Amino acid sequence: MKPIRTENFPSVRLTAGMYALSKLSAAGLTSTLLGLLALAGPHTAAGWLASPAYNVYAYALTVSLLADGLLRLTGTGSRAFLLIIYALAGFGAGLWLAHDQGSGWAAGAFAGIAVLLLFRLTQLAGERIPALLPVFALFVPLLCLLL
């Protein structure tokens, strides 16, 4: 009997770990960019800029996981479909945030679309530049906890 060769099969734990690291890195980079945008803007920031780290980790990360699950279930690899799913997920995240903060739904929903598309863009940046992964996945959340 021949032994089964496993060197061509990716490890499930390694794949899941890299996916989690990619998502955490995207959340860290997105919250950093939104935090810098909040610093540049007025001090009476509301919505996504009120508390960028909390809003990205609580709303955007959660909804992006749901969007990825939906993309995985449909099996469609089209970029247009991916953008549509992420835009719809961002719309939902914005509505969720607006409901929780008691703010206007339209501004929150459209800002949610922008934030989720930025989240996807930062995830792609993390996949293309692997040196970003540990920095934004580990160190940025620690800085957010300290500040």
Question: pLDDT (tens digit, 9 = 90+) per residue, 10-52?
Answer: 777 888 888 999 999 999 999 888 888 888 877 656 677 778 8
Token couple for 100: 């929780």
Band of pLDDT at residue 1, cut at 50, 70 and 90: low
pLDDT of 87: 94
In the chain, alpha helices (H):
12-40, 52-55, 61-74, 79-101, 105-128, 132-134, 140-146
Whether pLDDT at 95 is above 80: yes
CB 24 within 8 A of CB 126: no
**Tokens 């860290």 correspond to what residue?**
28
pLDDT of 3: 64
> What percentage of the chain has pLDDT greater than the value 70?
90
Q: Which of 147, 145, 109, 140 shows the shortest CA–CA distance to 30?
A: 140
pLDDT of 23: 92
**Tokens 């206007």 correspond to what residue?**
104
- What is the spatial distance between Cα 40 and Cα 99, in angstroms, rounded to a whole number? 26
pLDDT of 120: 94
Residues 6+ apart with CB under 8 A from 32: 136, 140
Q: Let me know how long the chain is.
A: 147
